[in-house]
Amino acid sequence: MKKSLFVMSVTKFIFLVTILDMIIYHVPLYKYSLSQLNIHTFGGVLTFFSVLISLFTITAFLLFLISFIKPSFVKLFTILFFITNSLAVYFVTTYSVILDKSMMGNVFNTNSIEAGSYFDIKIIFYLILFGVLPSLFVSKIKLIIQKRVRLIVFAFITLFSGVFLLYLNSTTWLWLDKNAKIIGGLAMPWSYSINAIRYKAQELKKSQKQILLPSGKFKDDNKTVVLLIIGESARAKDFSLYGYKRETNPMLKKEDILVLKNSFSTATYTTASVHSILSYQGSSSDSYEPLPSYLQRMGADVIWRTKNWGNPPLKIKSFIQAGELKKSCKGSGCEFDEVLLTNLDKEILSLKKNKIFVVLHTAGSHGPTYYKKYPKEFEVFKPVCKSVDLKECSKQELINAYDNTIVYTDYFLSKAIEKLKKLHMPSLMIYLSDHGESLGEYGLYLHGTPYSIAPDFQKKIPFMIWESKEFIKEKGFKKPFVKAEKRYTQANIFHTVLGAFGFKSKIYNQKLDLLTFK
């Protein structure tokens, strides 16, 4: 018979594990709160006390509700969330992330290969010290089962006591409300569990049958190729075409590239951004068919090649992953984004229809293993960061590794332009990133910070357009009407692509078309 170390009622157990949860897993939350408060003042102390009250009340109340379903469940649930908390704290501590709904979207949409790049040997330490050991302690506790009525009474006593204390500290509500998103994203286990449910509910809503967009038609049947390249985690700041002091765009500067300087993403994580790019509303939350599906249905040939993930459901004939392209690819570049260009010109020439839309979704500058995103010969800036714990690297090592990914992106885009030139037909290339990236500024790394509080490093993106001489001649214009002071976003893509094809429909918005012709 299994020997129990302690014997206690369910009520005492809940209060105990709530306190343990507050002590073990909330150092990041306390550090954030203390960094935002003047703890040497009475108001600062009072506000910090309100944070503790809120955390205790919510955790204890929800545990009481779980115990109400079945009293013995609370012990099993506690062991489970101690284990998952230890992993969550590892990621929060290592990458300074906030586990809100958008970050949980990142978690669900990270493929197995990229997921492996986030792990360091330290995760074993976190798992054992903060997960396994507390769980073993809890497993030794024998619960004295109480009646459900008694448990629900204690649940509401806890809730009302907490609310009453917060009411007495009503002067702190404004600060709590202002920082609620971050506090909620650092509260364990509710940050990742509740936000995971919120994200999945949102995705379930999106997965419902897509609403078809109104039909339209191409005004001519002339050959036209539009290539949309979606970058990953590329921030405008590190492109020399955007004024960066380092030469990170040595090849693109030789091309006649239109650079949209004041460009922003609509989200800070891939899934939402890609949805926005392909949406006629420029939104990540609409339920209408995306651009590739729409053009395919309207009679265009559509090609989607990807080394990434996060695209909405697509109804197209040609959806090809990088792994499939590698079978016919030759050279060291086949391990990187170049694989997406494999025989692309040949595939375009083999298509029968005259309107051809191609999307390349790259791996780009996805962290934390930036040094693995480019061939060795593109390691221009040295030394580079080779740790998944980016705080272990010097600032310069981190920037060097990241900037090398931009140099490689420059090369990749120039190769794509070269492919288009060889077609000798009207063609247009649009490149933009899904979102930017933080490299330690303000203590943040990677991306996925809630948009409302994310720094511009995660929102300001490169956005560039190239036209072939045949395209310019066919369309009868030289320069798109772009204003330096205007703000451009991913919402411009849908209508610019329709405009490039000369496609007219009720949903086409000429004001959002960057290539509006005179």
Residue pLDDT, tens place only, 96-108: 777 777 777 767 6
Q: What average pLDDT does range 301-314 have in this prediction?
A: 92
CB 242 within 8 Å of CB 236:
yes
CB 277 within 8 Å of CB 430:
no
Beta-carbon contacts of 505 under 8 Å, excluding residues fewer than 6 positions away, are 213, 214, 215, 216, 217, 498
CA 228 to chain CA centroid, nearest Å: 19
Nearest to 305 by CA among 285, 289, 325: 325
Containing H/E element for 489? strand 488-489
- Other beta carbons within 10 angstroms of residue 165's beta carbon come to 16
DSSP one-letter string for 153-184: HHHHHHHHHHHHHHHHTGGGHHHHHHTHHHHH
Q: pLDDT tier at 494 (50, 70, 90 boundaries)? A: very high
Of 170-179, 180-189, 365-374, the one with minimum mean pLDDT is 170-179
Two tokens at 196?
């995971």
- Domain range list for the chain: 6-206, 216-512
- Other beta carbons within 10 angstroms of residue 441's beta carbon come to 14
Q: pLDDT tier at 518 (50, 70, 90 boundaries)? A: very low
Q: What single-letter amino acid sits at 423?
A: L
Architecture label for domain 216-512: 3-Layer(aba) Sandwich (3.40)
CB 365 within 8 Å of CB 114:
no
Residue 500 burial by Cβ neighbours in a 10 Å radius (0-12, 13-18, 19+):
buried
The reported pTM is 0.77
| pLDDT tens-digit series, residues 233-284 | 999 999 999 999 999 999 999 999 999 989 999 999 898 999 999 999 988 7
pLDDT attached to residue 117:
63
Q: What single-letter amino acid sits at 219?
A: K
pLDDT of 1 over the 80 cut: no
Q: Give CA–CA dist 136/202, Å, rounded.
A: 36
Two tokens at 206?
């999106």
